Amino acid sequence: MSNSRIESLGISHFNIFILRSKVLKPDTDENDKLPSWDGSIIVYDRPDHNDKKEFILGRIPIQVKSREDFPPNKESYSLEKLDAINYLNDGGIIFIRPIFNDNSVKFFGKILLPLTIKNYLLNSKRKSNTIRIRLKEYSNIENFVNECKFFLENQPLQRNQNNHISIGKVDLTQGTLFTKSLKKENIYKSVLSDDSYLYFKLKDTDITVPVKAKLSEIGFNKEVEIKINEKVYFNKAFLGEKANGFHTIRLNKGLLIEFDSKNIKIHFSWKLDSDFDETLSALRFLRDLEDSNSFVLDTLPFTFDSYKASETISDQVILYEDTYNAFSYLNLNTVGITIQDLESSFQEISEIIYIVNQRMKVKIDDCKKGFYKVYKISTIVLILIFIPMVDSEFAVFNFADEMDFGEQYLCTSRTTKTRVVCSKYLILDRADLIPIIVNHCDAALRDIDAKYDDKLRLEYSFLLLSCISYFDSSKDIRILSFAERLNQVIIENVEDDSYNTPFVINKYQIIFRTRDFSASEAEEIIKLKEDFKNQIVTCLCVNILLKNIYESDSLYSKLTEEERIEIDSWPIMNLYRSLKT
């Protein structure tokens, strides 16, 4: 059969293949004589397009090189460099290789986007006029449609040959890296093939440029499920390839898996600064791997002859799971907790685990009265309330939980010297209490509002000031917002006018820490200064808010030593000290 007839029959076979899809339409001529091209494929965005222009996704140039032969299982092709250069200048092509005889036909091919063509040309022998490309079989039309859409998705990003950047010039503070890959039979063949592309998108813009780098060399993060017996252990992994040919899967900082076609190696280590949640995930994975001897990365299975977790791992996973379960039961957040934090608080954590495992009931001999105990683990503060029951048994409650313990909390008023029913948030030392409030601001405010008594105004005011001071050291805006709302609760419940001035000063020292005053706010502060011009302490506070440093210095010098000692601990003096420096 003549070459022209072979080419004509090949294009005819391919057109029939294309027409199996309702979104593809061939635009080819069996007698086409154009160099480098044999027509194109029109891609529509819906099956019911009726050839309407508004439904066209795009047009893809194609080159068809047919061969009459018994269809093989694999195929490659020596492409002329001049053709490759033409494809590059045109923005890419899909190369098609029909191979047929009287009984059967197979279609092989390759999507050739600009970056792929450039890589082929760069890696080819200088004196050679051809480049060897490995083709894939298009056995079903759905896969081919996906490749056509992938081509149209990436072509606009790669068409400009001058806007590619090297990986060394990528500044991740100015944008984000992302990948686009053709879906293949497994995750590694998908993302480490030459059909995977790396891009850099500048933040706050629509500018995206291709990055010249092999993904296998630099590695990349991929959102992908890692499962054992259908249970998901990780939702992402860092995938890469080493110089010795081993593929790598880094599941977190402590857990790395290496593999090639024959061997699988698992490396696990943790240090004192290792993240607790990450370490626990790794330990659980390794423990369950011992029973299954297999896991799945996306759809790619890994199987071991046998795997044995060390005794250290088995012991640690029990301890860490007990810790995690106890923290979860008590609604404690483990984010940011390190192994060092756990090691440093081993006794406290052991006690907490014991209490939770005893279902929050413990026996304590020689103790008749209720009490509370504070546990500190890194930035976590846990306060447990122990309420006596019968036979030396105590019910244990998490102080932060909203529940009725069946008894009232009492606090002695500094003004009336009487015992007054109060919120539970007044019975503890404020140094222990405020870290609890930070994570339970709404619950704390509800409890305070429900049990507020103006006889304890001074006690609540001290709590408010302690919250402001805590903000100055922590910069946690949640506690400042809580202080602002607490100030409002106090003013709404006052039984006389004596709190008006402290209310205004507290209101504006909170605002001072977040923004500048408006004109009307500044006027209210100035009026306060005029109304209390004979009261040194009030005038000092107002001048600090107005940033009048010289007047503040003068007023401060008029205070007695005893007054200075007291006032120096007020949070408004933090503003004064910051203004002076």
Distance CA 219, CA 332 (A): 35
Q: Which of 358, 403, 400, 366 is nearest to 383 (CA)?
A: 400
> What does pLDDT average to over the chain?
88
Please say whether the beta carbons of 77 and 107 come within 8 A: no
> Which phi and psi (to 5°) does residue 62 adopt?
-135, 155
Q: What is the pLDDT of residues 144-192, one digit of tens each?
A: 999 999 999 999 999 887 777 877 788 878 888 887 877 765 666 666 6
> Which residue type does 381 have?
V
CA atoms within 13 A on the CB side of 473: 9
Q: What is the DSSP string of 467-518?
A: HHHHHHHH--HHHHHHHHHHHHHHHHH-SSSTTHHHHHHHHHHHHHTTSPPP
DSSP-derived pairing of the beta strands 93-100 and 56-64: parallel
pLDDT score of 404: 56
pLDDT score of 190: 65
Mean pLDDT of all residues in 324-346: 92
**C-alpha dihedral sign at 423, 429, 434, 440:** negative
Buried b (16+ CB within 10 A) or exposed e, 37-68: bbbbbbbbeeeebeeeeebebbebbbbbbbbe
Give the H or E element holding residue 325. helix 311-329
The band of 212, judged by pLDDT with boundaries at 50, 70 and 90, is confident
Which sequence spans correspond to the domains of the chain?
3-158, 411-580
Distance CA 93, CA 406 (A): 77
pLDDT score of 187: 65
User: Is the pLDDT confidence value at 529 over 70?
Assistant: yes
- pLDDT exceeding 90 applies to what percent of the chain? 54
Mean pLDDT of all residues in 42-62: 93
Distance CA 357, CA 396 (A): 12
Class of domain 3-158: alpha beta
Q: What is the pLDDT of residues 395-415, one digit of tens each?
A: 888 887 765 544 567 888 888
User: Is the pLDDT confidence value at 135 over 70?
Assistant: yes
| DSSP 8-state assignment for residue 275 | B
What are residue 374's DSSP bridge partners? 383
Task: With H, G, I as helix, E, B as strand and everything else as coil, classify residue 375.
Answer: strand
Q: What is the pLDDT of residues 363-386, one digit of tens each?
A: 998 887 778 888 989 888 888 888
Q: What is the pLDDT of residues 538-551, one digit of tens each?
A: 999 999 999 999 99
Mean pLDDT of all residues in 446-453: 91
> Of 49 and 440, which is predicted with more confidence?
49
Longest dimension (CA), the chain: 114
> Which residue type does 155 have?
Q
User: Is the pLDDT confidence value at 13 over 60?
Assistant: yes
The beta-strand segments (E) located in 2-152 are 24-28, 39-44, 56-64, 67-68, 75-80, 93-100, 105-112, 130-137
3-state DSSP helix/strand/coil percent for the chain, to nearest 5?
A: 40, 25, 30
Distance CA 9, CA 336 (A): 65
Least confident range from 8-12, 237-241, 280-284: namely 237-241
Distance CA 444, CA 482 (A): 9
**C-alpha dihedral sign at 507, 509, 513, 519:** positive
Q: With the CA atoms of 311, 313, 318 and 324 taken in that order, what torsion angle do they form, in degrees rounded to the nearest 10?
A: 170
Please say whether the beta carbons of 343 and 270 come within 8 A: no
**C-alpha dihedral sign at 348, 352, 357, 363:** positive
Residues near 374 by beta carbon (within 8 Å), at least 6 away in sequence: 381, 382, 383, 428, 432
Between CA 306 and CA 309, with CA 307 as vertex, the angle to 5 degrees is 155
Please say whether the beta carbons of 11 and 36 come within 8 A: no
Please say whether the beta carbons of 29 and 39 come within 8 A: yes
Direct distance between the N- and C-terminal alpha carbons of the chain, in angstroms, rounded to an integer? 93
- For the entire predicted model, the pTM comes to 0.58
Mean pLDDT of all residues in 286-296: 88
| DSSP 8-state assignment for residue 426 | G
pLDDT score of 284: 92
Give the H or E element holding residue 190. helix 187-191
User: Is the pLDDT confidence value at 57 over 90?
Assistant: yes
Distance CA 251, CA 22 (A): 41
Please say whether the beta carbons of 212 and 167 come within 8 A: yes
264-268, strands of its sheet edge to edge? 264-268, 255-259, 247-252, 231-241, 220-228, 294-297, 300-303
> Which phi and psi (to 5°) does residue 229 adopt?
50, 45
pLDDT score of 403: 55
The band of 112, judged by pLDDT with boundaries at 50, 70 and 90, is very high
pLDDT score of 496: 84
Please say whether the beta carbons of 113 and 197 come within 8 A: yes
Please say whether the beta carbons of 341 and 371 come within 8 A: no
Mean pLDDT of all residues in 439-456: 90
DSSP-derived pairing of the beta strands 231-241 and 196-202: unpaired
Distance CA 59, CA 37 (A): 13
CA atoms within 13 A on the CB side of 118: 18
Q: Which of 265, 387, 411, 384 is nearest to 329 (CA)?
A: 384
pLDDT score of 452: 93
Q: What is the DSSP string of 34-52?
A: -SS--EEEEEESSTT-TT-
Distance CA 487, CA 61 (A): 71
Mean pLDDT of all residues in 346-362: 94
Please say whether the beta carbons of 240 and 250 come within 8 A: yes
User: Is the pLDDT confidence value at 216 over 70?
Assistant: no
Residue with tokens 């990948």: 179
Mean pLDDT of all residues in 293-317: 82
Mean pLDDT of all residues in 320-333: 93
Find how far residue 275's CA is from the centre of its chain.
Answer: 15
